[in-house]
Amino acid sequence: MDGTLLNNQHEISVANREAIKEAQDKGVFVVLSTGRSFLNSHNHADSLNLSSFLVTVNGSEIWDEKRELVRRSLVKSEQIEWMLKLANEHKATFWAISTERNWHNEMPEDLHSVEWMKFGFNIHDDAVREIVIKELEARGEFELSNSAPFNIEVNASGINKAQGLKLVCERLGIEMKNVMAVGDSRNDLAMIKEAGMGVAMGNAQEIVKETADWVTASNEEDGVAKAIHKWVLDK
């Protein structure tokens, strides 16, 4: 969503809305696959009248067309506790997503009474960020990505947007080769690799552009609509 479907004002453009509606009218399943929580994404899905699945928290949750939970994958509270200490050690700002709410630079008194799905670090110093990434990788327990060049997103091992979309495809009776996935950041890489047509936004990180099959316009230039017109609607 951010940097892809949404412009820099966090709005969905008219062109994107019209392209999505036209695709749905032709029987195409349009799925939001986002690092955001359900609380911060379902309103956009509703505003688009999406009648399909939602993949949220980088694949930690999959919701069906009735907005009922299909699957949820959690990060252990002990792992969250360790990452919080790591963030504090390196003076990083942080956020976390639990099953109930989003947390920003604050945490509940009892971390172990909460069910967790993601932890994130904001680190603008490249050297410090690399140190933290190496410490996270050394544990071998996490799926690492980002939603901006300066952050690190941490999910349970093996959880990513591609895995979420594979489950959606199983439910819908289609194959990943018939999926177009559009994104801009490292948390989109897995699904861009796995999809039959992987599309990078014009504003995407370089590694995403290098991985994608095609590069569309930026999120300020209706890049999602242009991709839908070219590869879905054949316009």
The answer to whether residue 109 sits within a structural domain is yes
Domain CATH code at residue 96: 3.30.1240.10
> Per the domain annotation, does 91 fall within a domain?
yes
Query: CB–CB of 136/165 below 8 Å?
Result: no
Q: What is the pLDDT of residue 153?
A: 98
What's the structural domain count of the chain?
Answer: 2
82 and 152 share one domain: yes
SS3 179: coil
Final residue of a domain: which of 121, 156, 191?
A: 156
User: Do the Cβ atoms of 16 and 224 come closer than 8 Å?
Assistant: yes
In terms of domains, do 204 and 100 share one?
no
**pTM for the structure as a whole:** 0.96
Residue 4 lies in a domain: no
Q: Supply the pLDDT for residue 179.
A: 98
CA 152 to chain centre: 12
Place of tokens 């009892």: 110
Tell me, yes or no, whether 41 and 54 share the same domain: yes
* Sheet of 197-200, strand order: 180-183, 197-200, 214-215
Same-domain status, 66 and 54: yes
Same domain, 150 and 81: yes
* Residue among 136, 147, 142, 130 nearest 188 (CA): 147
Look at residue 235 in the predicted model and tell me its pLDDT: 72
pLDDT at position 184 is 98
Please list the residues that pair with 219 across neighbouring strands.
none
In this structure, what token pair is assigned to residue 145?
Answer: 């990505």
Q: What sign for the dihedral angle of Cα 127, 156, 31, 45?
A: negative
Q: Which residue range forms the structural domain that includes residue 85?
A: 77-156
Percent helix, strand and coil across the chain, each rounded to 5? 40, 20, 40
Distance CA 72, CA 114 (A): 14
CA distance linking residue 32 with residue 168, whole number of Å: 11
68 domain-assigned: yes
Cα separation of 79 and 70, whole Å?
Answer: 24
| CA 11/CA 171 separation, integer angstroms | 30
* Residue 208: burial class (beta carbons within 10 Å; 0-12, 13-18, 19+): buried
Tell whether 35 and 64 lie within a shared domain: yes
63 and 84 part of one domain: no
pLDDT tens-place values along the chain, 235 residues long: 999 999 999 999 999 999 999 999 999 999 999 999 999 999 999 999 998 999 999 999 999 999 999 999 999 999 999 999 999 999 999 999 999 999 999 999 999 999 999 999 999 999 999 999 999 999 999 999 999 999 999 999 999 999 999 999 999 999 999 999 999 999 999 999 999 999 999 999 999 999 999 999 999 999 999 999 999 998 7
- Residue 48, domain CATH: 3.40.50.1000
Query: 145 and 91, same structural domain?
Result: yes
Question: In this structure, are 128 and 90 located in the same domain?
Answer: yes
Residues 138 and 203 in one domain: no
The answer to whether position 100 is within a domain reads yes
